[in-house]
Amino acid sequence: MTEKSNQVEVTLLGKTHQFACTEGQEQLLLDAVALLNQRVDEMKQKSTVRNEQNALLLAALHLCHDLQDLQRVNNSQQTQQQTLIDKLKMHLAGN
């Protein structure tokens, strides 16, 4: 069975675009576009980048960096959780 998709119209860098989006995920797409537009605006304000394409690339790089940081934190937390679970199992097995 294939997932149903809808066309969603968004504005990115001042231009309207149509994207196919899995049904029920439309708001997530709109939120992602809003975040990207916000980051592009921040890049244009914080740096000497004035070209929208370069600001878009810089914003995308910053978002990827943020994602990598979150993944590292998540991996570290999972490792800590697994260590605690293993300690609990050893403690319970000893009783």
- DSSP, res 2: P
pLDDT at 21 over 70: yes
Of 59, 9, 16, 52, nearest to 35 by C-alpha is 59
Q: What's the confidence (pLDDT) of residue 3?
A: 74
pLDDT at 22 over 70: yes
Question: Residues 34-88: pLDDT tens digits?
Answer: 999 999 998 888 878 878 888 999 999 999 999 999 999 999 999 999 999 999 9
pLDDT-derived band at 13, boundaries 50, 70, 90: confident
Buried b (16+ CB within 10 A) or exposed e, 63-95: eeeeeeeeeeeeeeeeeeeeeeeeeeeeeeeee
Q: What's the confidence (pLDDT) of residue 84?
A: 96
Residue ranges of alpha helices (H) inside the chain are 26-46, 52-94
Q: Which amino acid is at 59?
A: A
For the whole model, what pTM was predicted?
Answer: 0.75
